[in-house]
Amino acid sequence: MPHTAPLLMEIRQLTPNAAAQACEVVRQSITHCCVLDHAGDPKVLNAWLANKTEQQFTACMAAPRAMAWGAYRGDEMVGFALVSHATLALCYVVPAVLHQGVGGALLQAAEEGARQAGVSELALESTRTAQAFYLRKGYVPAGAVQAWAGLCAQPLRKRL
């Protein structure tokens, strides 16, 4: 049974067939919503987007113990989340639905899916942009900030 988010959004579990849409959602979100992280620096942005390809998403979504969800408004995917093993690897929404409950609904679906798969603790590496969101959702710091290609990521975790 799908979860329903505000604004007539529907959260659906995805197959790798949705990789192209998922990739586009993540690329839009990183480019337009994560300016706090990349500061508009083309070098940093290009490094971050380098592996955000349809082929990479297809492989990640098809991997063993991977679960993916999309938030939809009609036929349009407006958010995407991916859990791999016990890690929330991706959770992004397009700019048009930012701060409208879509990310929370995706996170809830991802946590429930992980719980059902036997995961007792979910880990992630948060951007600066999303850190307050995850802290509000019960995640706590789980180590030192990681730096890569001009980006910083705070490891976080949550007992499910």
Dmax (CA) of the chain: 42
* Residue 7, pLDDT score: 55
The pLDDT score that the predictor gives to residue 9 is 85
Over residues 16-38, mean pLDDT: 97
d(CA 98, CA 120): 28
For residue 143, the 8-state DSSP code is S
- Residue 56 confidence class, pLDDT cut points 50, 70, 90: very high
Report d(CA 17, CA 33) in Å as an integer. Answer: 25
The structure's pTM equals: 0.93
Residue 5 pLDDT class (50, 70, 90 cuts): very low
Q: Read off the pLDDT band of 136 (50, 70, 90).
A: very high
Q: Please say if the pLDDT value at position 34 is more than 90.
A: yes
| Domains of the chain, residue spans | 3-119
| Chain segment 57-100, per-residue pLDDT in tens | 999 999 999 999 999 999 999 999 999 999 999 999 999 999 99
CATH tag for 3-119 (out of 3.40.630.30, 3.30.460.80, 3.20.20.80, 2.40.50.140): 3.40.630.30
Strand ranges inside the chain, DSSP E: 3-5, 9-14, 66-73, 76-84, 87-93, 121-126, 140-141, 146-148, 151-159
Residue pair 102/71 in contact (Cβ under 8 Å)? The answer is yes
Q: What is the mean pLDDT of the chain?
A: 94
Q: Give the pLDDT confidence score for residue 2 in this predicted structure.
A: 52
